[in-house]
Amino acid sequence: MFLKLFCSGFSMMRQFALSSFPDPEAAESYSRSIRAEVLERLPELLEEFEKKAISRGVKVIWARDAAEANNIILDIARQKGVQYVTKGKSMITEEIGLNEHLIKNGVDVYETDLGEVITQQLGLPPFHLVGPAINVPPEKISDIFLKNGILKEPTTDPVALGKAARMYLREKFRTQEMGIVGVNMAVAETGSFINVENEGNIRMNKSSPKTLVAIMSLEKLVPTLADAIHMTRILIRNCTGQKMTSYVSFDTGPKKPDELDGPEDVYVVILDNGRSEIYKDLKVRDILKCIRCGACMNTCPVYARIGGYPYGFTYTGPMGQAINPLLWGIENTTDLYRACTLCGSCRKTCPAGVDHPFLFLEYRSREIRKKNAKGNRTLLSRLENTIAAISSFGMRQGRAWILGVRCVRPLLNFLSKDGYIRDIPFGVQGWFGCRDLTAMPDKTFHERWKDLQNEPVPLADTAKKDVI
Amino acid sequence: MSMQAREEILGRLKSVRKNTPAARPAKPVLSEINLDKEQLLQRFTSELNAQTGAVYQAKDKEDAVRILSEIASAEGLKSILATSGHIYGVDIRAFGSQNNISVSTVQDFSDRNAFRELAFAVDAGITSADFAVAETGTLGVIFYKDQPRLVSIAPPVHIAIVPVDKLYPVYENVIEQVFKDTNKIPSQFCFITGPSSTTDIKGVHFKGMHGPVKIFVIFIMTGGIGHENSDGPGKTMVR
């Protein structure tokens, strides 16, 4: 129930926030055109961003994959001799498992976004792109905060729990030497990177320590500052249903020598992790338009019922179903792109112009084509193909279809028990693993219709006044 | 290693045939650009009020000191960190001595750690704001030597002073000015809209997550848009 309310509430807030545009459709159409242009110009925009950022004193480092990115950040932490790092919420660091890597190698990591603090303490994956712990009951948060010394007295008041986390993390912010943040947008025109947030933890991470590492996946570019402003408006409305978040910060290089705070060293790690291969795949590369607003999750009827955990990956909901198969392999993520009704709500909602259902169909098609490729054929795939060929023939020949149905019905009903078919032989146990088929009626609809024509039409019961 | 990675990644990206990007549709219009000065101030106030921020209109610099004193009294401020002894002519030290409040300014510090310690210890930070944006009741702050970042994020109360002629309709008006001179792009620029907040536990919204719990904006109306008859502080405040 909470999940349904949460998703529908967010969708309503989003609609309300979008209505603040004089023409919401024009605004979204413009944001889609920006993302489409970014994709076409991606290599040149990356080069321009890199050039401008370096000219401002930023150290730009490219990473091919998760392991490389993790080692780069670990090396920076070791070089700076820090005992711990604090982190702003960043899905890309979840994708590469940065926390685990740093902790394993002796560098403590403190998440600073409240939702991430909770998921880190409980050892849970993110439930939602925007609210990673939005589902966690306050009782559970209270217990873990008490256990870890963040809270002194038990409470289920969300505000009291939040304030306890505030006090706990202020101490970390006050003494931190290295901060790690994600990037919402990188501006090619100026070499700036932008972070959008409400809590102020990212601003703390960008203000208090001497070293700042910003990690971005390579598609996070926008061509100009004007585009960044428009995308910020769109991102915030679609992400949290607000018109503006508490803070939108633009960083262009490290602090100047005479400034009292801010990072002396700024590193921007540009991560590929499979995206340049996705970019080469013209049919599916539109997923790189995604701006991680999470609006597709809030509108998805499947997500609204199951939440984030069953997806089993960092990225959940429709955007996760669309990107995970490309990151982790279509053959390893079958359930993701098949667990979709193809209702198209995500596509209609997406402010970046991603056509999720098209991608799901493409993945399904690729999976089948791979299974049917020479050398991969199994007995089951041959059987499926034969059944599909027979069905296809039958559907094109009316008489053959009727004949086929007449033959198949008694055959299926032979396998039924108590009105249900619970299994049939020849390897379709997978389908019956979690569902039953009701037994076929004795007659088809057409047969019943034919019989009805021969029956007398029942007269209205005149004794009942409400019967017309 | 990074150079090799760079070449590999860019090589793959560049190997794809590039199409000319489709022409963009017309840029969406923003209704705020049609607001007159009076409406801009109203819009800024109502938007920031909606975020629990309080907006004051000070007739002049002396009036601003009086407003600061009212805020300090209501919030029980004992110590403040200001970006300067005079912010847009408002005498912050005089305000401190009048109200028995310990005032530190950025200029008192040369040591980064000592400054940071104090930023996390004081009751409030008083800063200037370089811009105000009516669109969403937003402040625009350029960070530089005399405007360090922590003053507006570490203390639990943030008070910003801004001349009313720095109020603009939309973000674009501000961004153009901040980034116009490529030799003077600040290391950080920030839009601030209300206090820090979160909804991360069960969607319950509250102000004051990591940054300020409260924010106060004082417009200096001198030479401004004619709000001399303002009823004074608290008129538009949301509590």
In tens, the pLDDT along B159-217 reads 999 999 999 999 999 999 999 999 999 999 999 999 999 999 998 999 999 999 999 99
Q: What domains appear along chain B, each with residue ranges and CATH number?
A: 35-223 (3.40.50.10420)
Q: Between chains, do A261 and B204 touch, taking CB under 8 Å as contact?
A: no
Q: Alpha carbon of B15 to those of A43, A168, A188, A427, B138: distances in Å?
A: 10, 49, 21, 44, 43
Smallest CA-to-CA distance from B229 within B50, B63, B47, B52 is with B63
Collect all residues of chain A within an 8 Å Cβ-Cβ radius of residue B15.
280
Smallest CA-to-CA distance from B218 within B40, B63, B43, B47 is with B63
Encode pLDDT of A357-395 as tens digits.
Answer: 999 999 999 998 888 887 888 887 788 888 889 889 988
How many angstroms separate the CA atoms of A126 and A132, rounded?
A: 4
Q: Do residues A83 and A103 lie in contact, with contact meaning Cβ atoms separated by under 8 Å?
A: no
Judged by a CB distance cut-off of 8 A, whether residue A25 touches chain B is no
- Per the listing, tokens 């948060």 go with A141
B28 has pLDDT over 50: yes
Encode pLDDT of B37-84 as tens digits.
Answer: 999 999 999 999 999 999 999 999 999 999 999 999 999 999 999 999
pLDDT at B119: 98
Collect all residues of chain B within an 8 Å Cβ-Cβ radius of residue A203.
149, 153, 190, 211
Q: Between chains, do A246 and B211 touch, taking CB under 8 Å as contact?
A: yes
How many residues are given for chain A?
Answer: 468
User: Would the pTM of this model clear 0.80, i.e. be above it?
Assistant: yes
Smallest CA-to-CA distance from B212 within B145, B147, B137, B123 is with B123
Judged by a CB distance cut-off of 8 A, whether residue A283 touches chain B is no
Show the tokens assigned to B47. 């938007």
Identity of the residue in B10, B26, B188 whose CB atom sits nearest the CB atom of A251? B188
Identity of the residue in A30, A114, A200 whose CB atom sits nearest the CB atom of B24? A30
Substitution target in A207, A219, A230, A243 with the highest count of B β-carbons within 10 Å is: A207
How many angstroms separate the CA atoms of A92 and A115, rounded?
A: 16
Smallest CA-to-CA distance from A315 within A11, A92, A7 is with A92
Quote the minimal CA–CA distance from A103 to chain B in Å.
23
Which parts of A81-137 fold into alpha helices (H)? 91-96, 98-104, 114-122
Show the tokens assigned to B63. 């009036």
Q: CB-side exposure of A187: number of CA atoms within 13 Å?
A: 24
B236 has pLDDT over 60: no
Identity of the residue in B9, B115, B145 whose CB atom sits nearest the CB atom of A258? B145
ipTM value for the complex:
0.93
Show the tokens assigned to A171. 């101490």
Judged by a CB distance cut-off of 8 A, whether residue A366 touches chain B is no
Q: Between chains, do B211 and A247 touch, taking CB under 8 Å as contact?
A: yes
Q: Do residues A325 and A336 lie in contact, with contact meaning Cβ atoms separated by under 8 Å?
A: yes
